[in-house]
Structure 1
Amino acid sequence: MSTKIIRSVEWAYPIRPVSREIRAATPGIDEGKPPVLFVPGFGHGAWAFAENWLEHAAARGFPAYAMSLRGHGASGRAPKTTLRAYVHDVVQVAASLPRQAVLVGHGAGARVVTGALARYPARAGVLVAPVLGGWKMAAAVAARNPAATVPALFGGPLRPGRGALFGRELPAATARGYASRLGRAAALAQWQLLVAGTPEPGVGQPPVLVLGSPDDRLVPRSALARTARWYGGAPLMFPGMGHDLMLDSRWAEPLDAILDWLEKGAEG
């Protein structure tokens, strides 16, 4: 499959600029490791990675950054935005980093990262509990958690409960606190996710790692396996964890697996 070089729609209909929230944690000594850009899923902001993952990645020598997509966190409001605008935001932030970056997307943010990989020559990509879209996956997700997800099929907000996002080990008060911080994505972007097709290949075919949990109540194990096969591998699994691996009680395990993979040259 070939990568598109000229994208006429992006020249004809440029994305409206907005302010972007970016949080960072950098190592005390620059070891030359690639910067890692964390991209949250719908309803989440940069805070979801700043809570645990940013400082831990920096402690292991990786310059770490987390961004909020437009309309999320402290980024500029964009009630009628599109998936293309989300992808644009990620590409712009990645291009501003001092070295070729690794893009890490969570949930629907993984779909945004696949779009960015087709436009930006990333060092590698990581898809965490990926929601890549399409009606087949939407039906599977809705069947597993209808109360939380069916309203989104009609343009409403995603409302996953704390039981869908976290494992049983996370204290209930902590889980409620995280769940209370969730926002919502633009309705148009949610609809576009429903009809999204197969991801485009990445520029330069960067290695891509897929990971998740067999106990994720939003993303089925079969979807994780299918996504990993598309990128030529098998998913790394973390039993007992929920959808939000970066906030769950054993958050260090998946992050260390990602960083180990990168230190080995992303030869997953």
Structure 2
Amino acid sequence: MSAVRIIRSREWARPVRPARREVVSVAPEPDEGRPPLLFVPGFGHGAWAFAEHWLGHAASRGFPAHALSLRGHGASEPAPRASLRAYVHDVVQVAASLPRQAVLVGHGAGALVVAHALARYPARAAVLVAPVFGGWATVGAALRRNPAGTLPAVVGGRLRLRRAQLFSRELPDAEARRYVSALGGAGRRAQWQLLSRPALEPAVGDPPVLVLGSPDDRVVPAGALNRVARRYGSAPLLFPGMGHDLMLDVRWREPIDALLDWLEKEPAAR
């Protein structure tokens, strides 16, 4: 049996500063006791990114659905110096406040936050959507595809993503502009920590993990998507023709339905 580190001296000696967090929730009618879903957006995105389509759709299929804005994102408290550790703390605190053991769903860099949170919260299951696990290989790919938007982040500025990176050509331009205009920025420390890709601790309870993505994602290279899935002993479930923001693209129903179908077959039943 592998050992789980229960006491972390740093957590006691240097606790994360509390912050006001935005959580958007949609409840199913009736509530049939299914596990709640906690959606964690990537850097620059807020709870709005899931509230647009996925929250209501999950609730319509019987799952209580909640979306968190990490500190410094959406309507949560500003936090320009937030660290990756602070983001993980946000996820764990919100998940622990839910009435039942939750399924954690992270998108983009939010998937890395969820992967770290799994070492601190006994999730029912986890879903990593277009996961950005960082490292210089991912940065190199981003520099080739979007040098003007990526270079400022490398030197401590704000990462700026383009429409072509986030969405397919099928998404109407008006919708794409609205979503891009809603993007914010992550804390500088968190961005630097994403580049260094800190080591992941083992997940508590060994929950099942599903990886979703698109082979046409212009943020996450196909090789990186496959490496994340292999880490959890599986292959990614792919949705060709979609951009990085699967939850906002024109065919948003396909990945969320696949996610919910998977939960109904395996983790929810367990």
TM-score range, shorter chain: over 0.9
Give the Cα separation in 2 of the matches to 1:2 and 1:226. 25
Gaps of 5+ in 1: none
Shift of 1:2: 4.0
- Contact map agreement 2:146 2:162 (CA 8 A) in 1: no
User: Taking structure 1 as reference, are residues 135 and 4 closer, same or farther at Cα in structure 2, changes over 3 Å only?
Assistant: farther
TM-score normalised according to structure 2 size: 0.96
What residue number does 1:129 align with? 130
**Aligned to 2:245, what secondary structure does the other structure show?**
coil
Instruction: Report the alpha carbon displacement of residue 196 of structure 1 after superposing the two structures with TM.
Output: 1.5
Distance (Å, rounded) in 2 between the aligned partners of 1:5 and 1:79: 30
Moved over 4 A (4+): none
* Counterpart residue number, 2:260: 259
- Specify the code of the residue in structure 1 equivalent to 2:160: R
SS in 1 for 2:78: coil
- Residues 215, 239 of structure 2: 8 Å contact kept: yes
| Letter of the 1:265 counterpart | E
- 8 A contact 2:73–2:184 mirrored in 1: yes
Shift of residue 123, structure 1, vs aligned partner: 0.2
* 1:84-233 alignment runs, 5 A limit: 84-233=85-234
- For 1:134, the aligned partner's letter is G
- One-letter identity of the residue aligned with 2:52: E
2:78 aligns with 77
The DSSP-based 3-state class of the residue aligned with 1:138 is helix
For the 8 Å contact 2:41–2:47, the answer to whether it is kept is yes
Given that residues 2 and 201 in structure 1 are in contact (C-alpha distance below 8 angstroms), is that contact kept between their aligned partners in structure 2?
Answer: no
Equivalent position SS for 1:159: coil
TM-score with structure 1 setting the length: 0.97
Identity of aligned residues (%): 70
Q: Tell me how many residue pairs correspond in the alignment.
A: 267
Letter in 1 for 2:144: A
| 1:27 aligned residue | 28
CA distance in 2, matches of 1:57, 1:215: 25
Q: Write out per-residue CA displacement over residues 50-77 of structure 1, whole angstroms, 9 at most, x where no aligned residue.
A: 0000000000000000010000011011
Question: In the alignment, residue 106 of structure 2 is paired with which amino acid?
Answer: G
Pairwise CA distance, 1:10: 0.9
SS of structure 2 residue aligned to 1:209: strand
Code of the aligned partner of 2:6: I
Q: 1:55 to 1:152 in 2, by over 3 A?
A: same
For each residue in 1:212-231, what CA deviation from the matched residue of structure 2 results, as whole angstroms up to 9, or x when unmatched? 11111010011000000000
Distance in 1 (CA, whole Å) between partners of 2:6 and 2:145 is: 39
Give a deviation string over 1:104-128, Cα, whole Å, max 9, x none: 0000001100111110000001100
- Give the distance between the partners of 2:137 and 2:199, measured in 1 at CA: 12
- Residue type of the partner of 1:57? A
Deviation, 1:150, is 2.1
Most deviating of 193-202 and 93-102: 193-202
User: 2:105 aligns to what SS in structure 1?
Assistant: strand
The Cα of 1:248 is off from its aligned counterpart by 0.3
Equivalent position SS for 2:126? strand
Query: SS where residue 72 of structure 2 aligns?
Result: coil
8 Å Cα contact 1:81/1:188 also seen in 2 = yes
Q: State the match for 1:52 in structure 2.
A: 53
Contact 1:134 / 1:197 at 8 angstroms: preserved in 2? no
RMSD: 1.2
Contact in 2 for aligned 1:145/1:217 (Cα 8 Å): no
Give unmatched runs, 5+ long, in structure 2: none
Is the 2:152–2:159 Cα contact (8 Å) retained in structure 1? yes
